[in-house]
Structure 1
Amino acid sequence: MTALYKDAQRPVAERVADLLARMTPEEKFAQMHAYWLVLSETGDHRERSDMSDEFAGVAEQTALTERLKLGVGQITRPLGTHIVEAKTGVRAANRLQKMLMEETRLGIPALFHEECLVGLLCKDATLFPSPLNYGSTWDPDLIRQAARCIGAEARATGCHQGLAPVLDVSRDVRWGRTEETFGEDAWLVGVMACAYVEGLQGEKRDLLATLKHYVGHSFSEGARNHAPVHLGFCELNDTFLLPFEMAVKLTNAGSVMPAYHDIDNQPGHSDAFLMTEILRERWGFDGIIVADYGGISLLHQHHGVSHDAAESAALAFNAGLDVELPKDDCARHLAEAVARGLISMQKIDEIVARTLTEKFRLGLFEKPYADEQTIELQSATTRQTAREVATRSLTLLENNGVLPLQGKPRVAVIGPTADDPLALLSGYSFPVHLIISDMLEQTSQVTTPLAALRQTLGEPLVGYAKGCHIIEKRTAGAPVFPGDTSGKPLQQSPVSLDTSLIPEALRVAEESEVIVACVGDLAGLFQSGTVGEGSDTDSLNLPGVQQQLLEALVATGKPVVVVMTGGRPYNLQGLEDKVAALLMAWAPGQEGGWAIADVLTGRAEPQGRLVVSVPKSAGAMPYYYNHKLKSGGTPFAFHFGSRYPFGYGKSWTEFDWHSLTLLTPEVAMDGDIAVSVTLTNVGERSGSEVVQLYVHDKVASMVRPIKELKAFQRVALEPGASATLTFHVPVDMLNFTDRNGNRIVEPGEFELMVGASSGDIHDTVSVTVCGTPRILPQYWQMMSRCEVKKG
């Protein structure tokens, strides 16, 4: 007789209960962790071993084959762990899955997860632009399409869960993981995250998106990786929890990953208030919570809130965690934790039931294998989407009229990022994330700016010189695992200070009419690069001797167009006023060279708008546009502020703003605010503008920011054409968190500011919200909308 849990026609809850009742404690524990394996088509699987074993305090284990007979919750990055052809990797994963289905007592399939923030982390998968590029498009529909493409590649290779998107709100661009964020505005991060989750998961949620890093990871002490976070609940809820709340409630995100740090001395991986009370009980989250890699081990290894791995496991799982990733460093001690009375089997059953629920709901019992014959990577549609994201994210910060380049001038392309494919990729791209010695061999699909400009302008018209190095030799690994400094030498900066290549660059520059200077940084984990996870900085000057190179190029008197790529903004130390143009490209991915060439030559419009402010200096940090009035100090600090603020970006044309009209001078507590503005393209070229609506609460019971984004809309207009935009903002969106932890809206006067950026406000009106203070319900209105009427 077929077991009830194997009957696909039975309700999921019944199947879970039946299977759970059949499982031994050891089989249950196995569902609460992953294995990180290098898989083999022949079934000769082996465990991945590296410095993380030492980091987690891992000892010799029982033979893998014996442990696999108990089953396992997840398999970590089956195709993203090493260089393997997709078909070969899928065959190997299928071989392991077949063993789990047919050679274990209960036949419970594993759930496979991969990284997919900037494309599937897999050989030959499409290398998408960074999340900073995603945000800079100000186009949720485009990001939804990009995530849909990433999800298609993931599904085709057997991935069931993607460890993305990142919902951290940028607060200090010295933080290496700034490149992974959608920007510094909490609501915009939420909007983009919702679009990404919708695209990745699809309507059926048959691929789980993972919201990370829950929560406040980006506001760490000194912008250092894993460092403590100092936040009260009001600010935590208003800024850092908001995107997570939006993604959970609006898109039914399937998974959440807590962060490495502690908040007010409470580590994220043992925070029952955040993982259980807020996430599950208040918000209604029904997915699975997975540990960040090694995060449970940190509870005893670094945070010192437990004595050993068994106690750490009990702390994390009691707090709300469901699955330990990437391995079983602490989960293997669960039997001991139960015996010591640290965790109950009732709690174990509750946790395992959630994992089994997802496996049944995803259909893994019925369709456990991927079809290697249907794998499609780098499709024309996917590549085009990656190129469109890159192109529409490029942000023009300066232009004295040299751009777009006219005709076919002689161009000198100079700089360390001009012909380095890795310079276009962020830290979670496959070639960069593995930190392998032959990374460049995995970047054949990347088109550099030099290659694209030579193709566009003609090779005889484009000279090239590297000018300097950022890092002379990329090497694998870091001398210390993230966060661990006990008894080991500190990492010395790998950045090059060699200036010997500058004279040759000047010689090439002298033969040109225009210089395109490509500068920026290189992504790399744990200080193997100048930006990325664990690659934080103490300066916002360009790494190495790139500033000297730029100064020498500007001194030639020829127009210098600076193209900056990377994962954070850098200062040019005053050269901003001397260069002919400055284009921010972030990490635009494999199609980034084409995007840069298209914008420089006028084939495309620079449509990007900043989602992180460019602070005057590192001394302004932490800086973000939606700060409080007193953030600048008293008197206002000379080093505070931003030359290029949030929302800023130039176009090929100019717009006239007029007729700002408040359609609802007074509005009820449960109503919508309506305001309209008219734009006219008064330039000679077609172009687009991102119209941004900001709000300021003039008097409140708690201190409020000077302005906050509440709506935006891109509008494209031909020369002489006009459009009227009408924004509708629910009063719910004027909320903030009170001392009792409630989201409330207070009556009073609110300024509505409409402009082209947070620093370029064209007009302001005031609306009065009438009534008595209101505590928002569980499902409050989180999204504004805009109607566009042209003509």
Structure 2
Amino acid sequence: MLLRQSEVPLYRDPTAAVEERVSDLLARMTVDEKIAQLHAAWLKLSSDGNHEARTVDFAHGDAGITVETILQHGLGQITRPLGTHTVDPKEGVRALNALQRQMVEETRLGIPVMSHEECLVGLMIKDATLFPSPLNYAATWNPGLVEHVGRIIGEQARSIGCHQGLAPVLDVSRDPRWGRTEETLGEDPYLVGVLACHYVKGLQGEHRDLLATLKHFVGHSASEGGRNHAPVHVGPRELNDVFMLPFEMAVKLANAGSVMPAYHDIDGVPCHADRTLLQETLREKWGFDGLVVADYAGVDLLHGHHAVARDSAAAAALAFNAGLDVELPGHECALHLKEALARGEISEETIDAAASRVLRTKFRLGLFEKPYADPERVDVKSEAAGDIAYRVALESAVLLRNEGGVLPLDVEGAAKVAVIGPTADDPLALLAGYSFPVHLINAGEQSVASIGTPLQALRALLGDQRVIHARGCDIIAERRAGAPVFPSDVSLDTTAHASRDELISRDTGGIAAAVDAARQAGVAIVFVGDLSGLFQSGTVGEGSDTDSLDLPGVQQALLAAVVDSGTPTVVVMTGGRPYNLGGLEDRIAAQIMAFAPGERGAEALAGLLAGRANFTGRLPLSVPKSAGAVPYTYNHRLKSAGTPVAYHFGCRYPFGFGLSYTQFRYGSLALARREVPIADGTIELSFVVENTGSREGSEIVQLYVRDRLASSARPVRELKAFARVPLAAGASARVRVKLPVDMLNFTDGRGERIVEPGDFDLMVGSSSRDLHLGDVVTVTGNAARTLERDWRMVSEVDVLR
């Protein structure tokens, strides 16, 4: 510090109230020092303090600014210090400490810097645990397990000095053509909200000393045509009921520490410039008290993409006036705030308010008292973490079809098993786009040799002599950089750009060998699906959107040839979106949807295929029959499936669906009361679930509700409660549900959540289509009720043995 010990200011006193410390420090700061807190820097850090500027990334238009200039007045955040390049975690912490030392000891006021990293599927740095994808989290329907994942990721993040994690993704899936579908928690807002709350609670811990970041606020997944960054066309009622609900839940119930706006515009207003969203709704209506941080280059896009700002200074003014606190990942626009201030486009009071929120967060995190991390206490991979990753993979695989007794495999038998397909022996096929090896794949440095593949796991289980392997085809023969990142990076002459077909392999030369392998075997297991990769370096992931739900490349031809061989065929699909099988769904023996099951996914899949464990995963999103059936979600309004119902629309496998190696029976539905008051009522019902099969299993019970008459068109059904019910063979349990009347709400023309009196259908089932029990409850009252801010958002489910 440059201050003498005898002049220790109030803001340095850890016993003083946070607001007093914020006021004292803010009063001492120059405009330059305040602005420095409102942006990040994306640098390649070095433990000797010779940090390098990044000059080749999409988010650094001001490449001519030196590192010294960026850091001279302090800094709000440092962007992904360990997750930007391959660095040993301990060395990365030493480099981060070197930067922190510069901030604390060499700047005038000694304000520490916050560090953020990606952490959606594990801490996105070298050597950290590689968890399954968020679709896997959702497919477990297990909030407690998702919270455990968050807790482990949070512990790993703290060990490297990370203060903010850029997760979870709360975008409610609406179009599986969108590449970022793999990052979502599915298509139901309630399921997304519940799982998000548990992830946030796990990540942040009891003391919220690590910030979760809710993204992308809001409606990002409803983009036009499923195209990344495209405009969103939804009305205010749907926006609130579907897309904003999970954010509201995570803010109010989980005390989320940060929110990230989305790239797109809604009805012409970019989210990064939408004061109604960021200030009026988020802060004033919901009571959010954390940081609003920009999505990478989102502020710059107001100028370069949306063209609602004339230059970088105007873009910064728009965003910070709307309620932004920190520009990420760099400083492109925030450094021009003084120019905007001089032009009268922003006030110093607005800059002060944002700077105060940043400082308040740093005080709350304890950064001033503990700015450094201990390199010797880095812990980013452990056996316990791997076991939880394995459990998620095990509980999330969904059995969609199982005919003829092919599964489980006969482990003790002598028949050969053909293991076929481009994803059978590719560890990258098990990983989602925000895992470290995939995210940095174009750097060519990432090793995945330690990750077992399905082929290796099946050989270990069945023996080498029983397994015949044939790759059959590639999805991508050679990984390389894909498309430009942002629409503003290219000219509007789209014919000048490379075709997606140049990346995806069309080579059918290996199919004959795959057919030969199948003919030698008693069963063929064909592994197909996706390869995650950013901006079309893969077939799914951020910027890797598609116009088809057909399997990428020649995988369909491979599968058809294997099925035609006559050998019973099991399809295992991995990846980030549901694909069709081109009409082969009724000809295959079995089908499994495994999504991206992470570093121990192969082990989990082998165990499930062999019957060592039972399938308990359920679909968190529907599987549309074709791209022409999109958008399709289970909670649609009437006529969404065509007029009256078009055969080629709809879905084959619906939201909530999944089979098991055992069977379950539902019965004895009972309502505690057939009428409940609108003011504070709770609907109470119970029913019995029985395992009628010969082995243990877990059923995912689901409660759906339909409003019979409303002042606004309502969905055909909506999920309102769910629970995992583990049962031994022959055992049964009574499931009791308490559903607050508040959860029957929808948004009215004023933008308020209301509940109306009337009759509601209650439907209990094993999926959104397979509904086994039903009854009607009446909500009594004389008029609609407007919900208060802290309305009851979650149902209560108890399993009684």
CA apart distance, 1:483: 5.6
CA distance in 2, matches of 1:485, 1:51: 15
1:542 matches 2:551: yes
Q: For each residue in 1:65-87, what CA deviation from the matched residue of structure 2 results, as whole angstroms up to 9, or x when unmatched?
A: 13312111000000000000000
CA distance in 1, matches of 2:607, 2:560: 26
CA distance in 2, matches of 1:657, 1:252: 37
Q: 2:161 aligns with which of 138, 158, 169?
A: 158
Aligned to 1:445: 450
CA distance in 2, matches of 1:481, 1:281: 32
Q: 1:742 aligns with which of 718, 740, 752?
A: 752
Question: Secondary structure, in 3 states, of the residue corresponding to 2:592?
Answer: strand
CA distance in 2, matches of 1:626, 1:359: 42
Question: Secondary structure, in 3 states, of the residue corresponding to 1:89?
Answer: helix
Equivalence map 1:231-630=2 (5 Å): 231-400=234-403, 401-408=405-412, 409-439=415-445, 441-479=446-484, 481=486, 484-486=489-491, 489-493=496-500, 494-630=503-639
Aligned to 1:17: 23
1:775 matches 2:791: no
| CA pair 142-483 structure 1, distance change in 2 beyond 3 A | farther
What is the RMSD computed on CA atoms of the aligned residues? 1.1
- Counterpart residue type for residue 49 of structure 2: G
| Kept in 1: contact 2:80–2:117 (CA 8 A) | yes
CA apart distance, 1:44: 1.1
Q: 2:92 aligns with which of 89, 93, 106?
A: 89
1:717 matches 2:702: no
- Counterpart residue type for residue 615 of structure 2: P
Greater mean alpha carbon deviation, residues 358-367 or residues 42-51: 42-51
- Counterpart residue type for residue 519 of structure 1: V
Question: Secondary structure, in 3 states, of the residue corresponding to 2:244?
Answer: helix
CA apart distance, 1:509: 2.1
CA distance in 1, matches of 2:399, 2:612: 14
1:788 matches 2:799: yes
CA apart distance, 1:51: 4.4
Q: 1:727 aligns with which of 730, 737, 744?
A: 737
CA distance in 1, matches of 2:200, 2:628: 36
Q: For each residue in 1:375-397, what CA deviation from the matched residue of structure 2 results, as whole angstroms up to 9, or x when unmatched?
A: 11221110000000011000000
Aligned to 1:122: 125
CA distance in 1, matches of 2:791, 2:721: 16
Question: Secondary structure, in 3 states, of the residue corresponding to 1:190?
Answer: helix
Aligned to 2:116: 113
Give me the TM-score of the superposition, normalised by structure 1: 0.98
1:765 matches 2:771: no
| Kept in 2: contact 1:567–1:586 (CA 8 A) | yes
Aligned to 2:68: 65
Q: For each residue in 1:246-303, what CA deviation from the matched residue of structure 2 results, as whole angstroms up to 9, or x when unmatched?
A: 0000010000000000001110000000000000000000000000000011111111
CA apart distance, 1:208: 0.1
Greater mean alpha carbon deviation, residues 682-691 or residues 560-569: 682-691
| Kept in 2: contact 1:742–1:776 (CA 8 A) | yes
Question: Secondary structure, in 3 states, of the residue corresponding to 1:634?
Answer: coil
| CA pair 766-568 structure 1, distance change in 2 beyond 3 A | same
CA distance in 1, matches of 2:485, 2:177: 20
Q: For each residue in 1:729-751, what CA deviation from the matched residue of structure 2 results, as whole angstroms up to 9, or x when unmatched?
A: 00000000000111000000000
Question: Secondary structure, in 3 states, of the residue corresponding to 2:617?
Answer: coil
CA apart distance, 1:474: 0.3
Aligned to 1:192: 195
Aligned to 2:658: 649
Question: Secondary structure, in 3 states, of the residue corresponding to 1:630?
Answer: coil
Equivalence map 1:673-688=2 (5 Å): 673-688=683-698
- Counterpart residue type for residue 91 of structure 1: R
CA apart distance, 1:491: 3.3
Q: For each residue in 1:585-631, what CA deviation from the matched residue of structure 2 results, as whole angstroms up to 9, or x when unmatched?
A: 00001111011101001111111000110011100101100000121
- Counterpart residue type for residue 48 of structure 2: T
- Counterpart residue type for residue 434 of structure 1: L
CA distance in 2, matches of 1:19, 1:425: 45
Identity, % of aligned pairs? 61
Question: Secondary structure, in 3 states, of the residue corresponding to 1:436?
Answer: helix
| Kept in 1: contact 2:131–2:389 (CA 8 A) | yes
- Counterpart residue type for residue 427 of structure 2: P
CA apart distance, 1:461: 1.6
CA distance in 2, matches of 1:646, 1:311: 44
CA distance in 2, matches of 1:66, 1:252: 36
CA distance in 1, matches of 2:492, 2:735: 61
CA apart distance, 1:478: 3.2
1:691 matches 2:690: no
- Counterpart residue type for residue 26 of structure 2: L
CA apart distance, 1:477: 5.0
| Kept in 1: contact 2:519–2:566 (CA 8 A) | no
Greater mean alpha carbon deviation, residues 400-409 or residues 343-352: 400-409
Question: Secondary structure, in 3 states, of the residue corresponding to 2:689?
Answer: strand
Greater mean alpha carbon deviation, residues 742-751 or residues 59-68: 59-68
Question: Secondary structure, in 3 states, of the residue corresponding to 1:676?
Answer: strand
The unaligned stretches of length 5 or more in structure 2 are 1-6
- Counterpart residue type for residue 406 of structure 2: V
CA apart distance, 1:437: 4.2
CA apart distance, 1:789: 1.4
The unaligned stretches of length 5 or more in structure 1 are none
- Counterpart residue type for residue 535 of structure 1: S
Aligned to 2:3: none
CA apart distance, 1:61: 3.1
Q: 1:50 aligns with which of 38, 56, 77?
A: 56
| Kept in 2: contact 1:437–1:475 (CA 8 A) | no
CA apart distance, 1:59: 3.6
| Kept in 2: contact 1:176–1:536 (CA 8 A) | yes
Q: 1:7 aligns with which of 4, 13, 18?
A: 13
- Counterpart residue type for residue 498 of structure 2: Q
| Kept in 1: contact 2:186–2:620 (CA 8 A) | yes
Question: Secondary structure, in 3 states, of the residue corresponding to 1:598?
Answer: helix
- Counterpart residue type for residue 491 of structure 1: A
CA distance in 2, matches of 1:113, 1:232: 34
Question: Secondary structure, in 3 states, of the residue corresponding to 1:610?
Answer: coil
Greater mean alpha carbon deviation, residues 674-683 or residues 488-497: 488-497
